[in-house]
Amino acid sequence: MQNRPSADVGTDTMRATANAFQGLANAKIFAYGEGISFTSAHNERTMAQNRSIRSSIDSATRSYATPAAATTFSDHHEHAQSFSARAERHVSGQHQSRTVARPTLTDVAHLANVSVATASKALNHTDRISASTQRAVLAAAEQLGYRKSTDTGATSGHRNKRTGLVGLITSDYNGRFALPLLTGAESTLGASNHAALLMSSHGRPALEKSHIDRLAAHGVDGLIVVGDTTNPRPPLDPRTTMGLPVIYTYDPSRDPADCSIICDNVGAGAQAIEYLLSLGRRYIAVIAGPEDFQAAKDRVRGAWRTFTLYDFRPVAVLFDAWSEEWGERAAKLLLDQHPHLDAIYCLSDEIARGAVRGLLAAGRRVPQDVAVIGHDNWFVFASNAHPTLTTFDNNIPMLGKMAAQYLLGALAGRPHHGVTTVECPMIVRESTEPMRRTPLDSSGRIFERQGA
């Protein structure tokens, strides 16, 4: 799930990512340099730009498919300059009014009690400005969240114009979450004449702030923040976002007043056990990832909800790592201690594939003897496993679509607050099937739902 894949799996993932780029090329424009990409489905120049940069996309995706290039969105600096220039031209060509005014140079000068000219010189570190004046101006700029714009129209009112650009910032290091989320968001943004600027922070707060500064310089109308752990994250500093609407996805904001969209991991855990019980499975174990991951806690909480509802207890609930090695080791441990085991709910596809390997090595058939369910629907593991894995899909494109809808709503004066959960659909494959035995389990109990 959230852990880093091995080199061989990483290579497969990068090749698949490259293929995804090619499939999206007709609708979007991607550039990899300084962590930025520009997508535009509505701009009239899109087709011409696509033709002119097709070779650049091919080159970038080939590089991205190699292990050496698999760790960053930011390996092609020369492409960044070209696409940043395109983005700036796009900014200057938009003429809708902005709903949230941003601090101007005049505001900074007023707060620092200096002239606009002096404030400008201080921000540009002119030698003729005294150190005390420069400190006062810089402090005022920081307090107001003022950022110098790369567009020459910034001081003449451009900051109060709607640009049609949305910033998408991700901590996702290989595009596994960001790309499908971008696909979902772009379908909604494009229909509303908006485009997206994508930047990766690699989980580093300082880089995230720097990227927000760059996006603000491009005049984005709002921000979509994409996580990769499901753990609640600190909200962005309002002085950094400068009043822009912000939507948090996958990793929710710790501030309940913010707008966050997450996967329904509790519901997935509950449905997994419900499904295994419906197949006649009675000796069910849960193999989880690290106990401090919100996804692990939520999926286990959902599983316990169903166990309690039907008055069953799991044979074991084990926590460790998001890895195949842990799944294989846990399966062997479970068989040693619980030889009647007939089902395992694994909280990631990596764990599930490892568990299948451990079961097969011990002479157990999957799914005839032991049914296995995973989570994530990560094709590298779920579809390439033998047997293929029944699993839950995180529905990432839907998170992107809803994020875009909420952001557009905020721009129209209809902000959304709190946490929204998106259902994780179950994908049934070969690793599960009905248990072939009598309706009574080995203890003589008839399977009954409590309260029925």
Domain ranges of the chain: 7-97+159-255, 105-144, 265-392
Average pLDDT of 292-318? 98
Q: How far is CA 76 from the centre of its chain?
A: 22
pLDDT at position 150 over 80: no
The reply to whether 265-392 shares the fold of 7-97+159-255 is yes
Which residues make Cβ contacts (< 8 Å) with residue 418, sequence separation at least 6? 256, 257, 259, 260
Q: Which amino acid is at 133?
A: T
As a residue count, the chain comes to 452
pLDDT band (50, 70, 90) for residue 3: very low
Can you give the pTM of this predicted structure?
0.67
Q: What is the DSSP letter of 233?
A: B
- Fold classification of 265-392 is Rossmann fold (3.40.50)
CB atoms within 10 A of CB 418: 10
Q: CA 146, CA 401: separation in Å to the nearest integer?
A: 30
Q: What is the DSSP letter of 203?
A: T
Q: How far is CA 433 from each of CA 178, 278, 331, 363, rounded to the nearest angstrom?
A: 33, 10, 19, 18
Contact predicate 195/41, CB 8 Å: yes
Q: CA 423, CA 269: separation in Å to the nearest integer?
A: 11
pLDDT at position 383 over 80: yes
Q: Which amino acid is at 44?
A: E
pLDDT band (50, 70, 90) for residue 426: very high
Q: What is the DSSP letter of 69?
A: G
Task: Write down the pLDDT at residue 34.
Answer: 37
Q: How many CA atoms lie within 13 A of 55 on its CB side?
A: 1
* Lowest mean pLDDT segment, chosen from 77-91, 145-159, 355-369, 394-408: 77-91
Q: CA 82, CA 310: separation in Å to the nearest integer?
A: 60
- Fold classification of 7-97+159-255 is Rossmann fold (3.40.50)
pLDDT at position 289 over 70: yes
Q: CA 56, CA 229: separation in Å to the nearest integer?
A: 31
302: exposed, middle or buried (Cβ count in 10 Å: 0-12, 13-18, 19+): buried
Q: CA 284, CA 373: separation in Å to the nearest integer?
A: 11
- Residue-averaged pLDDT of the chain: 77
Residues of the chain with pLDDT > 90, as a percent, come to 50
Q: How far is CA 288 from each of CA 1, 250, 305, 329, rounded to the nearest angstrom?
A: 11, 19, 16, 12
Tokens of 203: 């989980």
Q: CA 307, CA 390: separation in Å to the nearest integer?
A: 20
Q: CA 366, CA 345: separation in Å to the nearest integer?
A: 13
Higher pLDDT, 348 or 151: 348
Q: CA 132, CA 112: separation in Å to the nearest integer?
A: 11
Tokens of 38: 């520009």
